[in-house]
Amino acid sequence: MNLHLMAPLGNTGYGYVSMNILQQLSVDNNIGLTIIGGPSAESEEQARIVNHALTSSYLIPDDSPCLKIWHQFDLLNRVGKGKYYALPFFEVDSFNQKELYHLNFPDELIVSCEWAKNIIQKNGIDKNVHVVPMGVDTKVFDHTKNQTTNKYVFCTIGKWEKRKAHDTIIHCFNNAFDNNDDVELWLVTSNPFLSKEEESEWLKLVENSKLKSKIKVFPRQPNHESIAKIISYTNCGIYISRGEGWNMELLEFMAMNKPVIASNYSAHTEYCTKDNSYLVDMNEVEPAMDGKWFFGESNWGKIGQNQIDQTIEYMRYCYQNKVDSNENGLNTAKQLSWKNTCDMLVGCMT
């Protein structure tokens, strides 16, 4: 297949998804790459694939399909004259007029989950919508490399953001345990879009915690091998997010055979079930508002006292019973490979 790919490249979010898709598509397809932003690679092999795709762009016929992996605010430009597919990720349940205009511009849309497809359709976007789940690299997130630890460690990975419920996770940890419990909470988090003052406000939640000696904050990691190493030393992932576009880190915990506590809402419901996750019921929504990226124009999942109580109960259960494996989650992760993702993408566009 000949394909024009427009995408950012990096080690978080859109960039990480795009890099994995580029690597896998390049195995059996001719890819011409237009990078959104600057080039980025974690290895010499990635750099080779990126350079080859960049220098091959002029060899891809104009009438080949174009796949753009980017957010719904910027979908009006594309490469070539072939059919135009857009793959956006979003975390809330409605769109403003600008987003609707951009989402209606591509010929067809691709999303990661049924939750996102339903939102597209409920917002009146009259496009063919394909559901293509994303993947996980089990060579990097390898459960056979897990380590034995003395403490029971809960962990969440993701940038400081109200949407990701770091505030609630810290609150639940403080109320689930006391100083006599042999337990820790690891927060692998940073946010390059925050000012020092804004990041300081998040860090105060840790500093003011009654269990602050049991909470560790890790800086942004240089690559996904480093993230996998941190996960290998933990016991349980906790992701009670108010909204997600896919939630890669949650799936990475599953790939490493770790139990997970997760909100039963948004994109990760595509692969989180009662059989592979401790699901926190989230039956209501509320205006999405954090004063930074969301201003109440759409909704996300509501975290109330019931969700807090249920999270605390799950945390105590996992700690008291030393739950440290997740065979069903591991099997789920094995089915969600980047090869399967790209096979489905090719199927959508041919």
CATH classification at residue 79: 3.40.50.11930
Q: What is the pLDDT of residue 340?
A: 97
Q: What is the pLDDT of residue 111?
A: 98
Are 208 and 326 within one domain?
yes
CA angle 259, 262, 266 (to 5 degrees): 140
Provide the number of structural domains found in the chain. 2
The pTM (predicted TM-score) of the whole model is 0.95
**Helix spans in the chain (H):** 13-28, 44-55, 97-103, 114-122, 166-176, 196-207, 224-232, 248-255, 305-320, 327-335, 338-349
Q: Is 301 left (phi over 0), alpha (psi -120 to 50) or beta?
A: beta
Residue 324 lies in a domain: yes
Among 131, 166, 185, residue at a domain's last position: 131
Residues 6 or more apart whose Cβ sits within 8 Å of residue 215: 170, 173, 184, 185, 186, 187, 206, 209
Residue 281's domain comprises 143-335
Are 157 and 98 within one domain?
no
Separation in Å, CA 309 to CA 121, 168, 303: 34, 11, 10
Residue 67 lies in a domain: yes
Virtual CA dihedral for 341, 344, 345, 350, nearest 10 degrees?
Answer: 160
Are 150 and 124 within one domain?
no
Q: Which pLDDT tens digits describe the chain residue by residue (350 residues)? A: 999 999 999 877 899 999 999 999 999 999 999 999 877 777 888 889 999 999 999 999 999 999 999 999 999 999 999 999 999 999 999 999 999 999 999 999 999 999 999 999 999 999 999 999 999 999 999 999 999 888 999 999 998 999 999 999 999 999 999 999 999 999 998 777 788 888 888 889 999 999 999 999 998 888 889 999 999 999 999 999 999 999 999 999 999 999 999 999 999 999 999 999 999 999 999 999 998 889 999 999 999 999 999 999 999 999 999 999 999 999 999 999 999 999 999 999 99
CA 173 to chain centre: 22
Are 216 and 87 within one domain?
no
Are 23 and 62 within one domain?
yes
Q: What is the CATH number of the domain that holds 170?
A: 3.40.50.2000
Residue 349 lies in a domain: no
Q: What is the pLDDT of residue 328?
A: 98
CA distance 286 to 125: 23
Closest listed residue to residue 234, CA positions, set 156, 161, 308, 139: 156
